Chain A
Amino acid sequence: MKFFSKRSIHDVKLNLSREEILRRSRILVVDDEKPEIINDLKKARFSVDYEPDITKDNMNIVDQSTYDLVLLDFGNVGKSFGADEGLSLLRYIKRVNPAIVVLAYTSRALSTTHADFYRQTDGALAKDAGIAESLEKIEEGLKKAHSIDNVWLGLITLAGIVPGSEEDERFQNMLVKGFQSKRKLKTFKQNMLTLLENGNAKTIGNILITKLIELGLKAILGI
């Protein structure tokens, strides 16, 4: 039976419908100038919030991991996280929750040092992208955010496990086997949580584990 032969998380494929992706997703736009595309996203039934910047005062919205996708500008944002503006903020977001999909929302030809902004984001949306193009890119990003592969990668990054390592494979095996038994699933969760540092990492880790289990069960058992 195919179900029992599954050992790798990458074999557990899930295709969420557009409706389901819309229902599950929350988007955050961080840009010093409020882009009009926000209204178009809302019209297309996306759940979108807007912040002109993330500072030490409102960083809890990143820490709580409420968002699946962040549309992030480079200039004039994130200065309270470092001199590299959007790149400093991006590093913070990815450190808190590596599973959040971040799209670079800028058209600046960034310098060599700042080109990491494009390297570390999950994709780029040009400042002059049209409405249809923007919706398409964001939808693709959300699909990625709710993919099992992405959530898994985020979780192991948070836990300090090297992708492709023996430990990665061991945990994948444990989780996939866990989809058959509640007891094994509990063992997986306990073992994974011991790898996560206390505090926010544990909270985010818990969120990602819950999401993984939900997506995995949906993929395998359709529940």
Chain B
Amino acid sequence: MATFEDVAALSTLPIINLKEISKPKDGLMLPLCLTCHKNFNKGSKCKEHYLALVKLDLSQPKILQCPFGFASIAFSIDYLKCAITGFVPYPRLGGDEERNQNKRYPEAKTTQRNLYALLNALRQTFLKLDKLQGDIIKNESMALHEIRKLNRTIKQTAERSYDANHTEDLLQILKTSELMSKQFDVIEILANESLVQLPTNTVSEIYKVFDKCVHIYQPADARIKLSGQPGYYPKVMVSDKTFPIIATVLIENALKYSPSGSPIAISVEKDGDACAVKVSNIIASNIKLEPTVFNRGVRASADIDGSGNGLYVAQLIAKQHNMLISVQCSTETNGSLTCVFSFRMKTI
């Protein structure tokens, strides 16, 4: 999905996002003039001007003069509402302020014909960009869809065979296939981040979500210990398509970054009207866990395989559920370094 920033990056004149009014961005050929900078910081007249633009019928762009003699033209592209601003139009709209600004900033003068040509170019580029992104999502999605169907065949065949014949090999195939599904879930969000805008309208038991995920990794890795409080089964509102990914990422990271054989503790505990989830494990001292680990593509260690996208996706999903995942590291008395990923979620 193309954004305001994409449009702004291509505008030759200063531009403002009318959906979230803040200081206009410089144009490629014309930066925002000093007067505009000062006036925007100083008072509410600029904001009132932009708010007036929001109310216009944007299907037919119209040039509107600001109280300081500059002009703006508001327009919409799909779901975006923006305005080219900080210019002096020719033919002029009239007034002393406009005449003064024209003399002071001759570079801000632009013909109305050029203005409409710019709007048209921005609109066309945006639509092409949006279509291109849509095509990429569609193609990636189709590929993923087909791979998932193959994985389904493996998983369901293993499941049916395991029912008839409980062997360790079949169980391993089944668990591996389940792990692949979990990875596909993460890839799907990376391919289409708009999925984290889905509503959180499903009731889910948070302990159960983590328990299911732990079972996929066990018995292959028996060092994970999930604990809760007796009789405490917190329910939360989630998007059942995205929420389990948080458990996958945190458990997978704990396994990946902790020394083999060291314990991994997951706890689900009552914290007032919320439940607190903590995933803690030991990490090597050379692993850097700063808040930037939640940024896209940031890897905590160059020595360990990973795309650097897991925590980024987990944090996106956390925000979808009105919370944040945080990380804290502490040195234990025996000198080992422990990291704790935690979040707090309101229960229903």
Contacts and interface: CB of A to CB of B under 8 A. Distances in A.
Interface of A: 36-37, 40, 75, 106-112, 115, 118-119, 123-124, 126-132
A219 to B, nearest CB: 19
A187 B134 CA distance: 53
A124 B241 contact: yes
Contacts of B188: 107, 109
8 contacts: A108-B144, A109-B140, A111-B194, A118-B241, A126-B181, A127-B145, A127-B152, A128-B151
Contacts of B38: none
Q: Is the interface of A mostly helix, strand, loop or mixed?
A: loop
Interface stretch (B89-97, B154-162, B309-317): B154-162
Contacts of A127: 145, 148-149, 152
A36 B198 contact: no
Interface residues of B, number: 35
B211 interface: no
A111 B137 contact: yes
A67 B201 CA distance: 22
B293 to A, nearest CB: 25
Contacts of A107: 144-145, 148, 184, 188
Contact of A110 (B149, B184, B192): B192
B192 A109 contact: yes
Contacts of B155: 128, 130
A131 B160 contact: yes
Nearest to B240: A123
A89 B189 CA distance: 25
Interface in B127-180: 134, 137-138, 140-142, 144-145, 148-149, 151-152, 155-156, 159-160, 174, 177-178, 180
Nearest to B138: A111
Interface in B289-309: none
Contact of B198 (A40, A111, A118, A128): A118
Interface string B212-249: 00000000000000000000000000001100000000
Interface centre among A111, A124, A129 (most CB of B within 10 A): A111
B144 A119 contact: no
A40 B156 CA distance: 10
Contacts of B67: none
